[in-house]
Amino acid sequence: MDTEEVTASAAGDGRPADAAPRYLSGFGNEHSSEAEPGALPVGRNSPQRAPLGLYAEQLSGTAFTEPRAHNRRTWLYRARPSAAHPPFHRIGNGSLRGAPFEETEPDPNRMRWDPLPEPPAGTDFVAGLWTLGGNGDARLRSGMAIHLYHANSPMTDRVFGDSDGELLLVPERGALRLCTELGVLVAAPGQVALIPRGVRFRVELPDGEARGYVCENYGQPFTLPELGPIGANGLANPRDFLAPTAAPEESEGPVEVVNKFCGRLWAAEYAHSPLDVVAWHGTHVPYLYDLRRFNVLGTISYDHPDPSLFTVLTSPSELPGQAGVDFVVFAPRWLVGEDTFRPPYFHRNVMTEYMGLVEGAYDAKAEGFRPGGGSLHNMMSAHGPDRATFDRASAAELRPQRVDDGLAFMFETRWPVTLTAAATDAPHRQRHYDQVWQGLERHHSPKRP
């Protein structure tokens, strides 16, 4: 039996329950699932002979010795051990890059991009990955990378696994059907999915085409932020995170297993599908989260709180409060602040902010920030409302106001982001982004004492 099964319709993705994958609810749980009764050993992980002739295999996402609260590992019971494969050989990286990022000089300028252009026909998820930039070093398991994807073809006879980090997928157009070693997750725009480090998966495209964003986190696995004085509830609620249930694939090979290892792609031809896990239990699991389930908190008196209040997931670093990367969502909410400039304020931030837009518009930008596009405000760069937004919000009548015309998000990282050459030179980079802050007039002349 699986632990606490729920259906995707309970997850609110609008799909009929019978066609939907079955999910397990909870964040960080010791989940378990078996596709056939008796496949999961009882009372031990490594019996002399695993049930049903399966092979037992441990997948460790954290060091064996990490504290219990952080430890992540999963036991897999599979038709063939992952070890049964020929050597990996290098394959082309396409537009995918990894840290350290050294193709360009770190640039303090504010940047904005339009959505990725159409890919050539036959582009699958892996081929459709395009790296914008990042920081840290995958070899030191530290830092992060920002990728976008645009794909129009399902992955057939190939699966992908990332040794460098976990992948937070943020669909913007078209759902992703993620067939993973632990089962199936369907992530539609408005939802996010996380594939843990090393977990292999294939991406199918139920809508024929898919576009979105990826945060590749080389550092400590994403976890829920502390709630401090907020109390025991709020922000992203743990039970809204959904893990898959075992869904083994039968297919014999050949299957190309693509492995991202220290920034480069390698491949080995397996003679069987590596998605052949019949049962599993553990904590190193993929999950799905519906951003509209986020419990948005904000002021009920005055001023604009810092967007840390919108943190869905955080990857802590060794410095308290300085995340390797935070995933932050600007979900529909009410604004009621009295005598308050309500949109995001002008600011310069030691943390680096990459923003993307899943749909609609964002309340700091009147135009130019498009769904599928993105902006980068690197360490200490000055940004905030564009001129049109400043003028509008400074004059607005301050009634309770619902902001529900968009879904924006931010990857906020402790270290500056260095761009790839492709991102710097991209035809879809907006060359005149600075102009959105032009025309902010002087309204005051300081008086000399």
Ligand X SMILES: O=C(O)Cc1cc(O)ccc1O
Nearer to Fe ion, 130 or 310 (CB): 310
* Minimum distance from residue 328 beta carbon to ligand X (Å): 8
Nearer to ligand X, 181 or 363 (CB): 363
Given candidates 79, 132, 364, 379, which one binds ligand X under the rule CB under 6 A? Answer: 364
**Rounded Cα distance, 287 and 187, in Å:** 10
147 annotated ligand-binding residue = no
Nearer to ligand X, 260 or 383 (CB): 383
Give the strand order in the sheet containing 323-330.
111-113, 374-377, 352-360, 406-413, 323-330, 311-316
Q: How many residues bind ligand X (CB under 6 A)?
A: 10
218 annotated ligand-binding residue = no
**Rounded Cα distance, 443 and 178, in Å:** 54
89 is catalytic: no
- Residues with Cβ within 8 Å of residue 127, at least 6 apart in sequence: 94, 119, 151
* Minimum distance from residue 412 beta carbon to Fe ion (Å): 8
User: Are 292 and 332 contacting, i.e. CB atoms less than 8 angstroms apart?
Assistant: yes
- Is 348 among the residues that bind ligand X (CB under 6 A)? no
Give which of Fe ion, ligand X, none residue 276 binds (C-beta under 5 to 8 Å, depending on kind).
none
- Residues with Cβ within 8 Å of residue 225, at least 6 apart in sequence: 235, 308, 311, 313, 314, 326
Give which of ligand X, Fe ion, none residue 146 binds (C-beta under 5 to 8 Å, depending on kind).
none
Number of residues in the chain: 449
User: Are 414 and 320 contacting, i.e. CB atoms less than 8 angstroms apart?
Assistant: no
- Is 307 among the residues that bind ligand X (CB under 6 A)? yes
Stretch binding Fe ion (CB under 5 A), from 21-29, 50-58, 346-354, 427-435: 346-354
User: Are 146 and 134 contacting, i.e. CB atoms less than 8 angstroms apart?
Assistant: yes
What is the distance in angstroms between the CA of the first residue and the CA of the last residue of the chain?
79
Catalytic residue chosen out of the listed positions 89, 147, 272, 304: 304
* Minimum distance from residue 436 beta carbon to Fe ion (Å): 13
Give which of Fe ion, ligand X, none residue 364 binds (C-beta under 5 to 8 Å, depending on kind).
ligand X
284 annotated ligand-binding residue = no
Q: How many residues bind Fe ion (CB under 5 A)?
A: 1
Task: Provide the binding-site residues for Fe ion, judged by CB under 5 A.
Answer: 353
Catalytic residues: 304
Binding-site residues for homogentisate, please? 362, 383
